[in-house]
Structure 1
Amino acid sequence: MIEAVMIWNEPNNKSHWDPEIDPDWSRFAHMAKLAADAVRSVNPVLTRLLGGISPIDPDFIGLMKSYGVLEEVNAIAAHGFPLDWNLWQIDEWPRKLDELRAVTDLPIWISEVGVSSFGAEDVQLWGLKRTAELLEGRADRVQWYSLYDLPRSWQATTRHKEAEGSSYYRHFYMGLLREDGSPKLALEEFARHTPDIGLVQWFHFQDPRLDDAVAWMKRLGVTHLRTGLSWADRFRPDALAWFDRQMEALEDFDVTVTFCFTPEHRGLAPHHTSAPIVPEEFAAFCAEMIARYAPAPASLDLVDPQRQMRSMNLPIQPRE
């Protein structure tokens, strides 16, 4: 069911990785290489993706290349929201892809692209149509963000929250469905582009929308989905029970699973954006999740995953 593993999310975005702790991204690069190696050791046939970058910055990809990260992954990913947050226009999508291809020969996934209905649902509908025209057939994967609006009672994962003004509130209107589950104008148009375009849907811990989301995705003809498993959530009571339920519900889809979010007590700073104190612990989490949900085919005849983790000096159990 898992077709790909994404190592972190938007590592060049302050909302997801703290550059004050890791100003040259050397800690991130080291952690990403450890995680990629851990995933490969458990299941070498899985696609390993460098976390989708936002903003689209070829210099960041060049930096990761200089650290040797691109040697450990099979593809790179990028996120773009030109009608909401980026400082470029939607028709520049082909040029943005060319900029990335100039620095790497790896496949390029657009693992998040979307348009909010913050101003008007007609804007989202037009943006979806234009995005499909510009990206279908040009990228190795295109995944639309997202299925649901973010509930207003939750917080968006950004750096400065409400201080960002309208930029913050746009996060709450990215769905094809409103918070109450009712369709927006763009929903029917999206169904015209499946299965070529997939979806991104993050599920919070014990998310009540899970079953309805699965039903909607099947109705829409979605076959490939990007979601996440949070390293921070691994320390919650009954974490594995929730992970099992989530992954079982998604078993009919080709899933790209994103591993990210530093547990507060395991970061150099007590925040999910922090570089970890022990990066091997993040690699161990990645290996544990792959061993649980995407073990290598028996025909590969690999060693026992826990024995492999021990041979790499990776902790098997989360440190409390």
Structure 2
Amino acid sequence: MIEAAMIWNEPNNKSHWDPEIDPDWSLFATMAKAACQAIRSVHPTLPRVLGGISPIDPSFIENLSGKGVLEHLDVVAVHGFPLDWNLWQIGEWPAKIEEIRAVTSLPIWVSEVGVSSFGAEEVQAWGLKRSAELLVGQTPRIHWYSLYDLPRAWGATTRHREAEGSSYYRHFYMGLLREDGTPKPALEEFGYHTPAVGLCQWFHFEDPRLDDAVAWMRRLGVRYLRTGLSWADSFRPNALAWFDRQMEALAEFDVTVTFCFTPEHRGIAPHHTSPPLVEAEFAEFCASMIQRYAR
């Protein structure tokens, strides 16, 4: 069921880790090493992956390497959205991967790549085709983000939300399926690239789209999936029941499970981007989830 454990999501992105509390990522390094060690203690062979970095920044990898983090990892991952948020062109994908290869010998996964349909759905379809042409064969894992558009009522996980202008609203149009579940033109294109290209789909707590998502992934021939189990959600009532249902539904896929999101009451600051008060608590959560779900 679980093929890999990913430590956090976009740790060098202010929307996911607070650099004001941890300006040199020392607290992140301590937390990540503790989580990797805890996972290894309960599953000695499960690959441990650094949460996909965004932006793609080799100096960030060098920083973590200097703090000893990479010694505890088996894979590093990157995220790229050159048609929406990055300051580089889509044709630079191979060069961006080479920038990371230059600073680490670990395998490199593309755990999120995507194109929004914010401007035009035809642009998304073209961007998917071009991304696959550039990435297939360059990296052992490619996770397209995402299957579903983000419902507008849920809100995107960003730092400044609507103040970000069109950059914020693009978050709601990354899916191959519209919010109402109807296909976009890119869905057919995606089917030409499976199983070499997998999916990244985040499921919210008690997400009503779960069963339909599984049906679509079967239909599309998806083999690899990246999703998350939220440390913050683990404190909700009936959290384990939801986690069990989610992971059972996804059992037929090779799942990279991402552990992230600090509970407000367990952070240095009351926010999901905060370093934890006690890094061992995050490590214990990771280990308990692996022990429960990794065969």
Q: TM-score, normalised by structure 2?
A: 1.00
**Map of 1:61 onto structure 2:** 61
Identity score, percent: 77
Alignment of 1:283-294 (within 5 A): 283-294=283-294
Shift of 1:272: 0.1
**Map of 1:30 onto structure 2:** 30
| Cα distance in 2 for residues equivalent to 1:151 and 1:263 | 23
Secondary structure of the residue aligned to 2:246 is: helix
Q: TM-score, normalised by structure 1?
A: 0.92
Which portions of structure 1, spanning 4 or more consecutive aligned residues, are displaced by more than 2 angstroms?
Answer: none
1:234 aligns with 2:251: no
| Cα distance in 1 for residues equivalent to 2:243 and 2:214 | 15
| Cα distance in 2 for residues equivalent to 1:50 and 1:37 | 13
| Cα distance in 1 for residues equivalent to 2:67 and 2:52 | 17
1:220 aligns with 2:220: yes
| Cα distance in 1 for residues equivalent to 2:103 and 2:11 | 18
**Map of 2:130 onto structure 1:** 130
**Map of 2:88 onto structure 1:** 88
Deviations 1:58-117 (A, max 9, x none): 000000100010000000000000000000000000110110000001000000000000
| Cα distance in 1 for residues equivalent to 2:52 and 2:150 | 20
Shift of 1:45: 1.0
Shift of 1:140: 1.7
Shift of 1:289: 0.3
| Cα distance in 2 for residues equivalent to 1:171 and 1:94 | 24
| Cα distance in 2 for residues equivalent to 1:260 and 1:153 | 22
Secondary structure of the residue aligned to 1:31 is: helix
Secondary structure of the residue aligned to 2:119 is: coil
Secondary structure of the residue aligned to 2:4 is: strand
Secondary structure of the residue aligned to 1:52 is: strand
Secondary structure of the residue aligned to 2:79 is: strand
**Map of 2:143 onto structure 1:** 143
Deviations 1:31-64 (A, max 9, x none): 0000000000000111100110000000000001
- Letter aligned with residue 255 of structure 2: V
- Letter aligned with residue 131 of structure 2: T
Secondary structure of the residue aligned to 1:109 is: strand
**Map of 1:152 onto structure 2:** 152
| Cα distance in 1 for residues equivalent to 2:45 and 2:2 | 11
The 10-residue stretch of structure 1 (286-295 or 83-92) with the greater mean CA deviation from structure 2: 286-295
**Map of 2:258 onto structure 1:** 258
**Map of 2:20 onto structure 1:** 20
- Letter aligned with residue 187 of structure 2: L
Secondary structure of the residue aligned to 1:283 is: helix
**Map of 1:308 onto structure 2:** none
- Letter aligned with residue 270 of structure 2: P
| Cα distance in 2 for residues equivalent to 1:164 and 1:20 | 19
Secondary structure of the residue aligned to 2:53 is: coil
Alignment gaps of 5+ in structure 2: none
| Cα distance in 1 for residues equivalent to 2:44 and 2:170 | 39
Secondary structure of the residue aligned to 1:40 is: helix
RMSD: 0.5
Alignment of 1:1-320 (within 5 A): 1-295=1-295
- Number of residues paired by the alignment? 295
| Cα distance in 1 for residues equivalent to 2:264 and 2:88 | 35
| Cα distance in 2 for residues equivalent to 1:210 and 1:197 | 20
Secondary structure of the residue aligned to 2:157 is: coil
Alignment gaps of 5+ in structure 1: 296-320
- Letter aligned with residue 21 of structure 1: I
Shift of 1:265: 0.2
- Letter aligned with residue 276 of structure 2: P
- Letter aligned with residue 242 of structure 2: W
Shift of 1:210: 0.2
- Letter aligned with residue 241 of structure 1: A
- Letter aligned with residue 160 of structure 1: H
- Letter aligned with residue 144 of structure 1: W
Secondary structure of the residue aligned to 1:50 is: strand
Secondary structure of the residue aligned to 1:285 is: helix
